[in-house]
């Protein structure tokens, strides 16, 4: 397996990964592929990495810039991330997270946040912190990883693409 930046030829495969990875997922509106497309279309997809195995895309992770409390704090938002169901639990998602975090750190980012499962993301150093919130999301699922030891105070303001309910279903 290798991790690399997405190319235009990967777009259909990335959509397929997210459609398959989130099909029937209880905490998903099955719009992750639409989020990635909208981020890309708006030039807001800061980091987009694919996991390739035997020449096929089997996983994808996206990172986009975010505001905290209405301010640009040089933080990134991790997500969506997806791995084909038949390839899950093989370390592909972890490899994507680690590669993506390395890339945003190389851009002098101050930190990264996400909405997700603390049991999974704690292995990368993500923790919940009451200073960082996301409207409508339980505090324990709003996770942060500060690269400089500082955690800004305020609500995450993400790209409008994350308003998945407002996006048209296909």
Q: Where are the domains of the chain?
A: 2-166
Q: How many CB atoms lie within 10 A of CB 11?
A: 16
The pair of three-digit structure tokens given for residue 21, joined into one six-digit string: 């990875």
pLDDT at residue 101 above 80? yes
Residue range 119-144: average pLDDT? 94
Distances (CA, A) of 66 to 39, 85, 123, 168: 12, 29, 23, 23
Q: What is the rounded CA–CA span in Å between residue 117 and residue 120? A: 6
pLDDT at residue 28 above 90? no
pLDDT at residue 9 above 70? yes
pLDDT at residue 165 above 80? no
> What would the pLDDT profile of 41-79 be if each residue is shown by its tens digit?
999 999 999 999 999 999 999 999 999 999 999 999 999
Return the SS3 of 117.
coil
Split at pLDDT 50, 70, 90, the class of 94 is very high
pLDDT at residue 170 above 50? no
24 by Cβ neighbours in 10 Å (0-12 / 13-18 / 19+) ranks as exposed
Q: What single DSSP character describes residue 28?
A: -
Mean pLDDT of the chain: 91
Domain 2-166 bears CATH identifier 3.40.630.30 = yes
Q: What is the rounded CA–CA span in Å between residue 78 and residue 97? A: 8
Q: What is the rounded CA–CA span in Å between residue 142 and residue 134? A: 7
Query: Model's pTM, two decimal places?
Result: 0.91
């Amino acid at each position: 397996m290798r991790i690399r930046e997405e190319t235009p030829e990967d777009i259909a495969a990335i959509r397929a990964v997210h459609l398959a990875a989130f099909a029937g997922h209880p905490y998903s509106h099955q719009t992750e592929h639409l989020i990635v497309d909208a981020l890309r279309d708006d030039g807001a997809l800061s980091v987009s990495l694919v996991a390739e195995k035997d020449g096929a895309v089997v996983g994808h992770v996206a990172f986009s810039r975010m505001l905290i409390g209405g301010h640009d704090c040089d933080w990134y938002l991790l997500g969506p991330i997806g791995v084909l169901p038949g390839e899950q639990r093989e370390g592909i998602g972890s490899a994507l997270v680690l590669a993506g975090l390395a890339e945003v750190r190389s851009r002098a980012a101050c930190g990264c946040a996400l909405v997700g499962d603390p049991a999974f993301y704690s292995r990368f150093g993500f923790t919940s912190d009451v200073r960082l919130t996301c409207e409508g999301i339980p505090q324990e699922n709003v996770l942060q990883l500060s690269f400089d030891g500082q955690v800004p105070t305020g609500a995450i303001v993400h790209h409008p693409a994350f308003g998945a309910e407002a996006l048209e279903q296909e």
